[in-house]
Amino acid sequence: MWYDWGKPHSRFFVTCDSELMFGGQYEKKKNKKGLLIGGITAGVVVILAGGGVLAWKLLINTTPPQETVKNYFALVEKKQYDKMYDMLSESSKEKISKKKFTERNQNIYEGIEAKDIKISIPEKEKLKGNPVTVKYSETMQTSAEEISFDNEMTLQKEDGEYKIDWDSTIIFPNLQDSYKVQIQTESADRGTIYDRNGVVLAGNGTVLEVGLVPGKMGDDAAKAEAIKKLAQMLEVSEEAIQNALGASYVQDDSFVPIKKIAKGNEEKEAQLLTIPGVMLNDSQDRVYPLGAAAGHLTGYVQAVTAEDLEKLENKGYHANSVIGRSGLEQAYEEELRPVDGTRIIIADETGNTIETLAYQPAQNGKDVRVTIDAEVQKTAYDQFAQDPGTAAAMNPKTGEVLALVSTPGYDPNEFVLGMSDARWNALNEDASNPLMNRFVNTWVPGSTFKGITAAVGVDAGIINPDENLGYVGLSWQKDASWGDYHVTTLTDYGETVNLVNAMTYSDNIYFAREALKIGADTMEEKLKSFGFEEELPFDLTMQASTFDDDGKIDSEIQLADTGYGQGQVLVNPLHLLSMYSMFVNDGNMIQPVLKYEENAAAKIWKEQAVSAQTAQTVKQNLLSVIENPSGTGASAKIDGVTMLGKTGTAEIKESQDDTTGVERGWFICETTEDMPNQIAVVGMVEDVKTKGGSSYVTQKVRNIAVSYLQ
């Protein structure tokens, strides 16, 4: 049988012999057609064995041109530019090197963040001749928006394979080889954070950009002196300034930016202007008007990192974006963040726009209004600024958080404007830990916890408020099994040891005895129902309160200590405010809220945490702490205002005999009557041992309440 492949010298003869091919006698009842097919197949095998490689290439089907087009763009999607180049015709390769081809395609496709490239080719049509032209439709997603267009590709058949006649129009139809694809960015503004009254807590404002004009700095000696002086004032290295001045773009009349500083320090600004060559320009940046007073609350923004961009792919961030790093800036990042506008164009050699390929308009971030009262926030910070500590304020009826303070604080403006290594190290090495956010942490609550123990015991029917447990002195232990361990208290208030007196005079022994009666199981169960070992539902992440390291009260001594807020009890300040809210809300624990809403209804976190009767009973006993002139919190009394409250001193020491430990001072108070401005405030100072104990904190908390109530 002869086959003609359409080329000279392509004829060859195939011999079909069934016995030779199959090694045995052929069965005549077999279909003859099968023999013919088998013979042909076998013939091909024989030819291959004989080295007919060219014939094999000619025999198999060449990849259709349509599939070649699809394969090319599949490589674009995979960013395999070298393999794309291998698909080009010889004439195309003569016009552009692999290096330039790779660079052009990579710069354009990756520059516009092209992805999800899809090719649609009309129903297969027989393409004849050489070359052939394949028409197709193309879509792709970009950093701006989807781009779609119709295009065509010419292919040449070389050595039995279709190769692409390439030029830049394959990327975009109107893109000539001499044209460029450009990305233009339109800046958008980050949203502003306002307090409940419209006061800016974090927003876009004016700062000063300090820079140098080289031509006005004088000779080399004067220049060196100017650099030295400026470095000292701005807390930057001389090397950094020299590097900035040495940039390739810098001319004698150039303004070379060195550092941004806060605006308003007239003395410092005047000193800077005495340095030869210094110029001050207004610039826009993120500003925090309350500074350190709200540093831990607002947090700050910083430039995104490569890691950020990887995590936030497809979220609209780019290399020049900023992102909230902590506090409100981080909590509300999704709302606050802007999306810069992007325009992708084709520009000619002179920069004129030939075509706009895609356009996404800029979207400013949304403003956020929070429940914080800036004046209460500042007052709280001022009260605690001299001590490592924390304070929180909340409307006990609505749950609206009015202040969250951690002292000492840090100025978030420093993080935004630029912080020297020396300043960063100083903050980290400061023994008072200004970078530590104390209001998100948990602390040993001391006697402020007695209100919670009372609620547990009364609600369980175990604590009878009127029962007189009897006077046992200022030191007590259950029995000899406790060894040397004793519970101690400070005040001998007489023979009537009941709930109201124990609360008024803060009797540790009373609450230790009652805790033993309550029992570990009931105590654990009830505390869990109050939200212990549970994340507080709040826009800022708060550490969960706990009553034990492993969730189990293991001994009588630990249980007794738990009763008066020692042992292993750790409470978050805001959680403590939420628990105390049940005393003025018929037993319901109100959920703290941070996002402001007009006339928002209170959200209940723990419905009927205790009964309304229990809440009323405990409230009356807590009132005596302030209202009774002998109460430990009597100094917090505000004329014309009825408040419940509780003092607390938590001893942090290695053993009962340890005299070197610290004493955490606490005070919590809460308005109890309907009034326009209701408030609950809690404050803690890390060590009050030499400062008068909890009374030191009581005055501070009172002053915060007064600032809001009057």
Which candidate, 565, 556, 593, 560, places its Cα nearest to that of 578? 593
DSSP secondary structure string for all residues of 638-670: BTTB-EEEEEEEEEE-SSTT--S-EEEEEEEEE
| 608 φ/ψ angles, rounded to the nearest 5 degrees | 50, 50
d(CA 471, CA 288): 55
Would you state the torsion angle of the CA atoms of residues 70, 75, 77, 78, taken in this order, to the nearest 10 degrees?
A: 150
**Side-chain half-sphere exposure of 153, counting CA atoms within 13 A:** 30
| 371 φ/ψ angles, rounded to the nearest 5 degrees | -80, -10
d(CA 649, CA 654): 16
Per annotation, catalytic residue among 406, 447, 695, 707: 447
d(CA 646, CA 500): 12
Q: Angle at which helices 450-459 and 556-563 pack, to 10 degrees?
A: 110
Which candidate, 582, 567, 589, 579, places its Cα nearest to that of 652? 567
Q: Are 258 and 211 in contact (CB under 8 A)?
A: yes
Q: Are 445 and 650 in contact (CB under 8 A)?
A: yes
DSSP secondary structure string for all residues of 32-98: HHHHHHHHHHHHHHHHHHTT-HHHHHHHSPPPPHHHHHHHHHHHHHHT-HHHHHHTB-HHHHHHS-H
Asked if omega into 408 is within 30° of 0 (cis), the reply is yes
Record the tokens describing residue 134, joined without a space: 């394949």
Q: Which residue has the tokens 């924390």?
A: 390
- What is the Rg, in whole angstroms, of the alpha carbon atoms belonging to the chain? 39
Which candidate, 76, 74, 63, places its Cα nearest to that of 158? 63
> Active-site residue 447, yes or no?
yes
Catalytic residues: 447
